[in-house]
Homo-oligomer: A and B are copies of this chain.
Amino acid sequence: MLRGQFVLHETPIGVNLVDATMTSELNALFARVEASDSLAVIVFDSADPDFYLAHYDLSDSDEVKHVLAHPEEVHPWTALLARLSSLPVATISSIRGRARGAGSEFLLATDIRFASRERAIVGQFEIGMAAIPGGGPSSRLPGLVGRGRTFEILFGGLDYDGALAEMYGYVNRALPDGDLDGFVDAFASRVASFDLQTIRDIKHFVNLATQRPEAEYKDQMDAFRAAVNRPAQQYIARHLFEAGLQQRSDVERDLPHWVTRFPYRPASGGE
């Protein structure tokens, strides 16, 4: 068994973003997992109890520039999530704090999700920034929560707490916050004591019965890339950054509210 924690890389006021450093470290971890002949289980939890994984780093980084300039390449986030889904081990998200946008996409690509009933928050806020989620929840949510709740989650861009996420099937189960770590440890240790080949067989066959065509993921990411090139997304993003996006601020604490604060009006030229 292996326990991975999401940790802050750059600034003490950060909010656990999915950025180039993190994806690079995750890919290194996955390479280790794929090469191992003894690893059975990975648990992903967060060192920051308020932010499991806030969302994708939306700042104008070199990585974002490169990705937008090379639409012909498979987006590294699409590739990472596909790789995560296919790792030959059991992957478990132990969720405390906010997991929105790419944070939610990450946990949807793991096998199993256990959540703190009081402190987990999951959601896909992207529509509030005039962008479809790029990391595949349009394909992964229906197999967990059904078509109707998928539409609600993606159209509404709202937060889902542990109890509601459990009722919908967004997470496997919501546990009292004080019980979460013990429950996840016991479950993961149990799985880690079992036969490796059996874990690989189960992973293979359940994936076969549940995975969606790769083209769906590519097309959704392309639609996301198109969205971030439109004025609406850029207008909202600029205002959110000014208000405190990607800082430990009220914007990040209540993102579903803040995305409604800067409505883009193309008729008036936006600004």
Nearest B residue to A191 via CB reads: B155
Counting CB contacts under 8 A, is A263 at the interface?
yes
| Contacts of A134-187 to chain B: CB distance below 8 A | 138-140, 142-152, 154-158, 166-167, 169, 171-173, 187
Contact size class for A?
35 or more
Which chain B residues lie closer than 8 Å to A233 at the CB level?
A: 195
Q: In the assembly, how many copies of this chain are there?
A: 3
Task: Judge whether A227 and B210 touch: CB under 8 Å.
Answer: no
A-B contact pairs, 30 of them (CB 8 A): A111-B155, A127-B191, A127-B194, A127-B198, A127-B202, A130-B195, A130-B197, A131-B195, A131-B198, A138-B205, A139-B205, A140-B147, A142-B210, A143-B146, A144-B146, A144-B148, A145-B169, A147-B206, A148-B171, A149-B169, A149-B172, A152-B187, A154-B206, A190-B260, A195-B232, A195-B233, A197-B227, A198-B227, A205-B219, A205-B223
